[in-house]
Amino acid sequence: MHVNENTPPVAAREHTVESFTREFLRELNFSQGVDLDRASDNDKYLALAKTVRHYLMTRWLETLRNQYRDQAKTVAYLSAEFLLGPQLENSMLAADLDAIATESLRNLGVDIEVLRTVEIEPGLGNGGLGRLAACFIDSLATLNVPSIGYGIRYEYGIFRQTFVDGKQVEKPDNWLSLGSPWEIAHPENAVEVHFGGRTEAAVDGAEGSRAWIPGWHVMAVPYNYMVPGYRNGRVNTLRLWSAKATQAFDLQIFNSGDYEEAVRAQTVAENISKVIYPEDSTPQGKELRLQQQYFFVAASLRDFLVNVLPADYPLENLPDRIMWQLNDTHPVIAVPELMRILIDEKHWDWDKAWGITQQVFAYTCHTLLPEALEVWPTDLLGKLLPRHLEIIYRINEEFVEKVRAAYPGDELRVRRMSIVADEPVRAIRMAHLATVAGSHVNGVAALHSQLLADKVLADFAHMWPEKFTNVTNGVTPRRFLRLSNPKLSGLITEAIGDGWVTDLSQLRGLEPLAEDAEFRRRFREIKSANKVRLAGVLAKRDGIELAGDGMVDAMVKRLHEYKRQSLKLLHIVSLYEGIKSGRIPLESVAPRTFVFGAKAAPGYVRAKETIELINAVGRTINADASLQGRLKVAFPANYNVTLAEVLIPAADLSEQISLAGKEASGTGNMKFALNGALTIGTDDGANVEIRKLVGDDNFFLFGMDEPAAAALQDSGYRPGDFYEADADLKAALNLLASGHFTDGERGGAVSSMFASLTERDRFMTLADFRAYVDAQASVDAAYADQEAWSRSAVLNVARSGFFSSDRSIQDYLDRIWKAKPVDQNS
């Protein structure tokens, strides 16, 4: 029960330095059990976090109360990943407590900046997909949309990357080791999740129903996280599930006297939420991963139907109350789960259940790589979820009938579209299931959605064109401009007011200022200050030095061949080779630091070799006195959200150089442009839209576009021809292969990369090399004119307002969810 209906919220009641200090000290004394003078930084951080949390708590309770009262349509964002980033700063910003907290702590002799560095960010995601989910829940809250995020509380997040002799070595990310003040566990609301066993005929069941007799169970314990809107009184919920062994299960084995077995059973159950799979694009098809998926989805559906909906809610009206957004195929097992509940538990007949199910799910696809589309062998699925497999078969039977009716005699098409694949093993194609069941299917950038409809899911788009739509990704301006770049934020606010924080399109108001020399000077001053900040962080964190106050050229993203970090590496090697051989005069090269940030999936050998080579080349270049510090390679280990927030505001150049037609969207590209970096990029993913908006003059486009790349591939691409035809390319590759960067070592990573690029080159790196190197030369020339460069940079900021995740969410609301904001204060 809350204190009193009429009690004003804490934030409104006592928003003062004195009250903040009182709360902080109370937390320190009564929660941490220490006095200020004996408190560790961790004690102080935890006390600060809990004090901030208190201020948001009243709003949270209010939001939940209103939600229950209003019964408005809710968006449930189902995602196996939420890459949240540090929580303290975002909570203080949302609650408008930054200034008060800073002053309060200063009065106590505590430096808040030090406390900020104590926080270990929850790395509950791999990369873009997980970070997008985090941006989306921020925007949902800020736009006042009733919504809830559902996911997994991994005990270990994405691995901590270290380098040993330049090679990636993974360490466990024990992010909970010092306690997390941002979560509230509710073991009393745990939900049972079933696995395995068999099915049998249902007694008195409805048409299509069967009884599932599961073999084992685990408990899903909810941990709630606050998702505060930006100063709008709304605090939504992110509910992450943690696996716990059921008592009954343990007790049964325990009573049989087998203590070891009882403990082992507990471990098996609790393994489910132990660790996130560190894959970036190729799903491994491991049983534990399917367990994770069903675990969080089953718990989330049950939670919504039982705890969020009123007990007497007529499920026929479900589409008025809920939209389940499927973040890629990872949560798609929710589809047969809802069917199972409606048919086997609620005794609905099949058609009625299917009619409702098709209205409450929508599917977002995040890839174009065929190998990234999840497929589950029926053996595995049937063993773990026998009833769900039966339901999927029936969904497929009816679907296949529809295809036959629409395309009589076209059995090839039926085979292509079937949810069940027969080759190489019988398996369920999760993207097909999602497309058949979803009310909508969307890609994440205009080009991606186009290619989905034309290529990856072409048969489906032909049959149901109205299902397919685009929602271009976005990023939250709160975290990726307001928080991460306070100086630029201040300058913008001074110029156009602070409305941009929640309406990023207002950045357009900066356009005329691109012509204002004084504004540009201040913009440059801020960029330099951000570089100093970056240099400080990298020096302390990694012992890395930057190239004077030269250009910061950044390529940060997961390591994958299609993203082509190897192309960037070839450019660096070619530049170095050119300088050393006298082909390129050193004075003509603008001082630059090439910054890399990239984790490789632990089993992805080629990606790990690329890391090794970047580090090897970096070591040689950084140690070469003849370069007079003009070129540096900085590859800080363990790139994460925390580091992104320091790097992105300091960058001049953003590298977005994937092979056209392979990167679904990208979101780093948006963050860089928004912070005034110019992009060097291919016509891929959201780069296309960025370039259209910022203008050709303010973007370095190079390389083949998607049709050209597809045509070259179809005509029989021969990378060796490019190697032979371009002397600079040949020299760079030969230098690499000579062992120059690897202490004379010519085997291992060096020869593997040489062979891979000159023989197969799956992502046509060599074909784009010449265009890339030429574009880099224009970058150097352009950077020499700082006035023109900063004019372009300001225009990038002014024209990037479209890439706010608030706009993405508004698009989802309008095109897919048909849900409405609900004002908290009315």
Residues recognised as catalytic: 366, 557-558, 563, 667, 671
Selected range binding ligand F58 among 200-208, 259-267, 276-284, 337-345, rule: CB under 6 A: 276-284
Q: Which stretch binds ligand F58 (CB under 6 A): 266-274, 335-343, 533-541, 660-668?
A: 660-668
Distance separating alpha carbons of residues 267 and 422, to the nearest angstrom: 35
State the sign of the Cα–Cα–Cα–Cα dihedral 123, 124, 130, 132: negative
Nearest to 556 by CA among 598, 599, 592: 598
Sole binder of ligand F58 in the list 126, 300, 642, 800 (CB under 6 A): 126
* Contact string (CB under 6 A) for ligand F58, positions 146-165, x = contact: --------------------
CB of 140 to ligand F58, least distance (A): 16
Residue 804 β-bridge partners: 475
Element (H, E) at 698: none
Assess 667 for contact with ligand F58 (CB under 6 A).
yes
C-alpha torsion sign, points 739, 744, 750, 755? positive
Closest approach of Cβ 780 to ligand F58, in Å?
28
Interaction of residue 565 with ligand F58, rule CB under 6 A:
no
Query: Measured between alpha carbons, how far is 339 from 673 in angstroms, rounded to an integer?
Result: 44
Q: How far is the CB of 374 from ligand F58 (least distance, A)?
A: 8
Nearest to 505 by CA among 674, 672, 656: 674
Of 476 and 667, CB closest to ligand F58: 667
Q: How far apart are CA 324 and CA 305, in angstroms?
A: 12
Contact between 689 and ligand F58 by CB under 6 A: the answer reads no
Part in contact with ligand F58 (CB under 6 A); list of ranges 30-38, 293-301, 663-671, 752-760: 663-671
CA dist 593 and 550 (Å) reads 7
Which window, 92-100, 199-207, 377-385, 657-665, contacts ligand F58 (CB under 6 A)?
A: 657-665
Query: DSSP of 614-679, one letter per residue?
Result: HHHHHHHHHH-GGGTTSEEEE--SS--HHHHHHHGGG-SEEEE-PPTTT----SHHHHHHHTTPEE
Cβ distance 536 to 343 under 8 Å? no
Shortest reach from residue 302's CB to ligand F58, in Å: 24
Contact criterion met (CB below 8 Å) for 764 and 704: yes
Q: Which of 76, 97, 129, 575 binds ligand F58 (CB under 6 A)?
A: 129
Shorter beta-carbon distance to ligand F58: residue 631 or 664: 664
Q: How far is the CB of 161 from ligand F58 (least distance, A)?
A: 15
Segment interacting with ligand F58, rule: CB under 6 A, options 35-43, 126-134, 413-421, 461-469: 126-134
C-beta of 147 vs 473, nearer to ligand F58: 473
Q: Which stretch binds ligand F58 (CB under 6 A): 124-132, 463-471, 497-505, 631-639?
A: 124-132
* Phi, psi torsion values for 260, nearest 5 degrees: -60, -45
**228 near ligand F58, judged by CB under 6 A:** no
Crossing angle, helix 88-95 and helix 41-70, to 10 degrees? 50
332 binds ligand F58 (CB under 6 A): no
Q: Which is nearer to ligand F58, 473 or 642 (CB)?
A: 473
Chosen residue from 121, 280, 612, 706 binding ligand F58 by CB under 6 A: 280
Give the residue carrying structure tokens 């079933």. Answer: 194
656 binds ligand F58 (CB under 6 A): no
Could you say which DSSP state residue 513 is in? G
Position among 86, 151, 181, 283 found at the interface with ligand F58 (CB under 6 A): 283
Binding residues among 445-474 for ligand F58 as defined by CB under 6 A: 473
691 interacts with ligand F58 by CB under 6 A: no
Binding span for ligand F58 by CB under 6 A among 514-522, 536-544, 645-653, 665-673: 665-673
Question: Binding of ligand F58 at residue 139 (CB under 6 A)?
Answer: no
Nearer to ligand F58, 471 or 733 (CB): 471
DSSP β-bridge partners for residue 594:
553, 633
Structure tokens belonging to residue 282: 């190729």
CB-based contact 510:790 (threshold 8 Å): no
Selected from 173, 655, 663, 806, the binder of ligand F58 by CB under 6 A is 663
Euclidean distance between CA atoms 512 and 515, whole angstroms: 6
Report which residue's Cβ sits closest to ligand F58. 128
- Residue 429 makes contact with ligand F58 by CB under 6 A: no
Does 122 contact ligand F58 by CB under 6 A?
Answer: no
- State how far the Cα of 780 lies from the Cα of 584, in Å rounded to an integer: 12
The answer to whether 313 and 217 have CB atoms below 8 angstroms apart is no
Q: Can you tell me which of 149, 166, 477, 685 binds ligand F58, judged by CB under 6 A?
A: 685
CB of 561 to ligand F58, least distance (A): 13
d(CA 1, CA 15): 23
Radius of gyration of the chain (CA): 27
Least distance from C-beta 657 to ligand F58, angstroms?
13
- Asked if 555 touches ligand F58 (CB under 6 A), the answer is no
Helix (H) or strand (E) holding 554: strand 551-556
Peptide bond into 172 cis (omega under 30): no
| DSSP assignment of 191-251 | EEEEE--EEEEPTTPPTT-EEEE-SEEEEEEEEEEEEE-SSSS-EEEEEEEEEEE-HHHHH
Nearest distance, CB of residue 562 and ligand F58, angstroms: 9
Provide CB contacts within 8 A for 310, sequence distance 6+: 68, 71
Size of the residue set binding ligand F58 (CB under 6 A): 19
The interface mask with ligand F58, positions 349-388, x = CB under 6 A, is: -----------------x-----x----------------
9, amino acid identity: P
Using the rule CB under 6 A, give the single segment among 127-135, 220-228, 510-518, 641-649 that binds ligand F58. 127-135
Residue 119 lies near ligand F58 (rule: CB under 6 A): no
Nearest to residue 627, comparing CAs of 569, 584, 568, 571?
Answer: 584
Is 134 a binding residue for ligand F58 by CB under 6 A? The answer is: no
* Least Cβ distance, residue 295 to ligand F58 (angstroms): 16
Q: Does 796 bind ligand F58 (CB under 6 A)?
A: no
Which of 142/473 has CB closer to ligand F58?
473
**How many angstroms separate the CA atoms of 43 and 50, rounded?**
11
Q: How far is the CB of 287 from ligand F58 (least distance, A)?
A: 16
Residues 286 and 277 sit within 8 Å (Cβ to Cβ):
yes
Terminal CA-CA length for the chain: 22
* Minimum separation from the CB atom of position 368 to ligand F58 (A): 9
The residue from 86, 128, 157, 331 that contacts ligand F58 (CB under 6 A) is 128
Determine, following the binding rule CB under 6 A, whether residue 344 of this chain makes contact with ligand F58: no
Taking the complex as a whole, how short is the minimal distance between the CB of residue 106 and ligand F58, in angstroms?
39
Q: Which of 86, 127, 233, 474 binds ligand F58 (CB under 6 A)?
A: 127
Q: Any idea what DSSP says for residue 497?
A: -
Instruction: Indicate the helix (H) or strand (E) that contains 415.
Output: helix 411-417
Asked if 683 touches ligand F58 (CB under 6 A), the answer is no
- Binding piece for ligand F58, criterion CB under 6 A, among 125-133, 455-463, 523-531, 615-623: 125-133
Please return the burial class of 508, using the count of CB atoms within 10 Å of its CB with bins 0-12, 13-18 and 19+. middle
Tally of residues, the chain: 826
How crowded is residue 277: how many other Cβ atoms within 10 Å of its Cβ? Answer: 19
Q: Is 444 among the residues that bind ligand F58 (CB under 6 A)?
A: yes
- Alpha-carbon gap, residue 119 to 49, rounded angstroms: 10
Minimum separation from the CB atom of position 133 to ligand F58 (A):
9
Task: Give the footprint of ligand F58 on this chain (CB under 6 A).
Answer: 126-129, 132, 279-281, 283, 366, 372, 444, 473, 663-667, 685
